[in-house]
Amino acid sequence: MSDRIYFGTDGIRGKVGENLINPEFVMKLGWAAGKVLAGQGTNKVLIGKDTRISGYMLESALEAGLSAAGINIGLLGPMPTPAIAYLTKTFRSEAGIVISASHNPYYDNGIKFFSADGMKLNDKIEIAIENQIGKPMECVASDKLGKAVRIGDAAGRYIEFCKGNFPSALSLKGLKIVVDCAHGATYHIAPNVLSELGAEVIEIGTEPDGLNINHKVGATSMKAVTESVIKNNADLGFALDGDGDRLMLVDHKGNVIDGDQIVYIIARDSLKRGRLQGGVVGTVMSNLGLEVALGTLGVPFVRSKVGDRHVMELLRQKGWSIGGESSGHVLNLAAASTGDGIVAGLQVLAAMLYADMTLNELSRGMTKYPQTLINVRFAEGTKPLEDKGVKQAVIEAEKALDNKGRILLRKSGTEPLVRVMVEANDAQDSSTWAEYIANAVRKVTD
């Protein structure tokens, strides 16, 4: 990623009106992407967005830039990120562009790209687009300008795709499910998918106004869905994030089921039905309980760097299909080309029905280790991870935990923070040793 000026691990993201997320830059980005993609195939690009108010402005800017480069545009309107990946592939488009900042507040936004195969753009194309941005913007001849059309049946197509990932022999009839769409891009998708498969659906977070996306709802704020599950005596709750690529669940007792547990449930069901391809990929932040639980099943487990992009890279490298992050990004390449919250939820529901178990019972197969995470800010010019005192603190903690826990120190990729994470059998040990190491880091930064 060091060769990039604009693209991060998940596209380009920032505060609206500042830095890169402004009309001028986004139009130039659209033009640059169009120039790189022009003539490679269908000469058509799809644009979708979440429900942020800034989506209108950025959509128009991208449309103008792409048209100036001679690219035709299909406008999808508010659609989940995984839907745009799917539709890009089915429409045989050159690329799909998502306007979204995922789980961030409304005042942030971002741009990310999918290739013709529904995967994130490869490094070479991203770098080519960056190089093009540095060139003067030119407009093609009037008769070569790109045209824009609105694709009216996009939501219906994606709903059918989601339903197609649920076994036709099963039905959700008799299940009461709370669905929290975070006032985001799944607001008109997820409730319909579940109700059409037979569930009784209770909706929350399905009234977007451009400003309320992810605000006290969704996968990053579980209180609303948890309270609704208990209040309505529901069987479980879905909590999606603003762009629909992340899922967290709540069982009928109000317990939060995170991404690690979802990955475990899907992997175990795939194994039982003879469909598991190889092993499972997690990240360095995945709970040790996932690794232990999969080990008891004889399922290989490896860790990637943080970020679903890195999980995807390792899955493809190994030829495996299932992976994810504790934050709720769940990948199953046998079903979708990218992380898809709705599809992951349907796979959990299928596992429940096949096993004739509640979500609570299914999740008991994995015991989460108590985990303590402390963020310590460090001063510019200091190198806390190389400090002898910090290294000694880690050695002492590892000796005390005696192979019954896990320690991770890493720098944040976006802020001057050292993340200190300790997992242990005992919650007090986890907390005590995390604070001990964090104090050693603080001494360096002070």
Same domain, 148 and 203: no
Q: What is the pLDDT of residues 169-183, one digit of tens each?
A: 999 999 999 999 999
* 385 and 345 belong to one structural domain: no
Q: Within this chain, do residues 148 and 162 fall inside the same structural domain, yes or no?
A: no
Confidence grade of residue 394 (pLDDT, cut at 50, 70, 90): very high
- Residue 7 located in a structural domain: no
Asked whether the predicted pLDDT for residue 156 surpasses 60, the reply is yes
Mean of pLDDT values over 45-66? 98
> Do 279 and 342 share a structural domain?
yes
Please give the span between the terminal C-alpha atoms of the chain, in angstroms, as a whole number: 30
Residues 439 and 342 in one domain: no
> Residue 45 belongs to a domain with what CATH number?
3.40.120.10
Q: Which residues contact 142 (CB under 8 A, 6 or more apart)?
A: none
Out of 124, 152, 180, a domain closes at: 152
Distance separating alpha carbons of residues 398 and 376, to the nearest angstrom? 20
* pLDDT for residue 235: 98
pLDDT classification of 379: cutoffs 50, 70, 90: confident
Within a domain: 95: yes
More confident of the two residues 412 and 150: 150
Residue 303 bridge partners (DSSP): 282
Amino acid at 303: R
- Asked whether residue 121 is assigned to any structural domain, the reply reads yes
The pTM of the full predicted model, rounded to 2 decimals, is 0.92
Query: pLDDT tens-digit profile of 192-241?
Result: 999 999 999 999 999 999 999 999 999 999 999 999 999 999 999 999 99
With beta carbons less than 8 A apart as the criterion, state whether 184 and 238 touch.
no
Mean pLDDT confidence for 329-344: 96
Mark whether 271 and 358 lie in a shared domain: yes
* Residues 148 and 190 both lie in one domain: no
Averaged pLDDT of the chain: 94
Q: Where a domain ends, among 123, 152, 181?
A: 152
Residue 6 inside a domain? The answer is no
Which residues is 237 bridged to in the sheet? 178, 250
Domain housing 209: 158-363
- Which residue, 315, 343, 363, sits at the end of a domain? 363
Please indicate, yes or no, whether residues 194 and 320 belong to a single structural domain of this protein.
yes
Per the domain annotation, does 5 fall within a domain?
Answer: no
Tell whether 125 and 192 lie within a shared domain.
no
- Domain co-membership, 355 together with 376: no
Total structural domains within the chain: 3
Tell me, yes or no, whether 121 and 162 share the same domain: no
Q: Give the chain's radius of gyration (CA, Å).
A: 22
**57 belongs to a structural domain:** yes
The count of other CB atoms within 10 Å of the CB of residue 138 is 9
Residue 2 lies in a domain: no
In this structure, what token pair is assigned to residue 150? 């609105």
Q: Annotate 398-428 with DSSP letters as a single string.
A: HHHHTTSEEEEEEE-SSSSEEEEEEEESSHH
Catalytic residue among 67, 93, 102, 221: 102
Q: What share of the chain has pLDDT > 90, as a percent? A: 86
Same domain as 294, residue 316 = yes
What pLDDT score was predicted for residue 147?
Answer: 96
221 as an active site residue: the answer is no
pLDDT more than 70, % of the chain: 98
Residue 351 placed within a domain: yes
To 10 degrees, what angle do helices 23-37 and 54-68 make? 40
Is the pLDDT score of 445 beyond 50? Answer: yes
Sorting pLDDT into bands at 50, 70 and 90, what band is 81?
Answer: very high
Across 76-85, 93-102, 121-130, 285-294, least confident range: 121-130
Phi, psi of 424 (to 5 degrees): -155, 165
CATH number for the domain including 431? 3.30.310.50
| Contact residues for 166 (Cβ-Cβ < 8 A; gap 6+) | 197, 346, 349, 350
